[in-house]
Structure 1
């Protein structure tokens, strides 16, 4: 055991990465199935019970595609770009506390690490658009850069109220600070801004402007196929899971059970179970948005960010600071 113990972090990390990849593949089926239900149609129902093996069929089809790289592209950057998108999102999960004892790393700057990784993820999309030497892909990459840079500002500001209340940038400390009440009760405005910014950061409908099919063919991944195309999809679904997990951690108590169930048998459930239930709720919320809302124009998206999201995030931060200093809101030592 003495020889195996140093390997425990690597084993835990490998298990978490494998689980995340499998979850991302499973979410492809969940999304298509749920959209089918909400739109009053069947959805995938041929491969396996209820179409549950549809993701496996899709994966085999993608792996069977030719690994085509256009001659006019910048070959090295073209191949590198999809790996940047997938790896940066996977690295963000290193600071996620899945339960009291499950998590790769408990950094005291975990929140800043999350912001850094989400900032780096945009390079994959931008480089994909630029290296493709395709006008539609280039426009998609430029949209992604402008969209991400804009909404990163509001995402960061929306989380500062939580930092003021918890007194720490550590995600585990933020969860533990919600022992006596979730932050959503006082940070509902910050939660709203964070969710909108998270949707924009993950390029999901209604903010999927970088890959708008009706305007840009497929946007930044127009020239991609095979495994490289699959990596972009992996990064997108991992991004949805990541934003859902961060929403749960920052505003909904993470792996902690709801307060009204504290004296019931449900409170005895492992923290990982509560965490998964909450994250699944927000993933379904992301999917429902895709079926419900139309896509805005790109100028409307940026105007909404700077004219609406920025003032709301500043009002939330200022209000939280005032209430914290006056003692109305409790929290850790900042």
Structure 2
């Protein structure tokens, strides 16, 4: 069993610290994006848990730009196969067993490997051929700071790979996050006290915002212990939505098609919270929060995750399940050294 990790922050402390950490990372990133070499026809994005969720929206943006990119949770690659030319591995702690193991195998097979991690030292950095480390910011057990900084770094690397430059929106993002969290907090508190005080949650998002759905569902499970499941909108339409009812609330994240889904769900006795950029018409009966317009998909997803972190806080209070309380002692998930593989 690996030693239990030590955390520098509780969840609420982490939420208060994450925007300042984001400012530091955004300021430091120019000049570091060369670590993702240009011209790679086949890239594999690798991560597990919250890091796997963080890969989803950058993956969509890279594919939309015409790049050949895939995503893995590391456990589905028992050997280094395929025509992969670069593995970009994300891990907040730098100690995820599956991620370090995958990077070790691909590097041994001659594939270039890049680790993106909050940790300055650790097994993943040792395993990878190159590493982008972000300063070892203190984090919380249910990740706040670590998720934000590693996700932002990956998003800016993806900008460079897709367009040759970091999008200017990242510099504005810390201020936009603070504004969006403050503006939506009261609505989220009311929704948590009512619809999320019991039962389960389906979290549904457009493909471009899939990071939001996966990260929010994981936060709700790890924090207030809510049975929560993430779906892409199109997959949700093909059957999973049919069980909608009073025992399952819905978070619906996106724009026109997601608002249409919200209207459909409200035909049943269920609670719906929409997360949009405010340009569409929210159906009567839905609760709504908004995020800024004019952002790239990955930038918008980070704002959405930070806004929904507040929903996690309020849901924990409504259910009486403290976010920082540990449900299980993790076995065999984090490693101290590569020798443990």
TM-score (norm 1): 0.28
Bigger strand fraction: 2
Bigger helix fraction: 1
TM-score (norm 2): 0.28
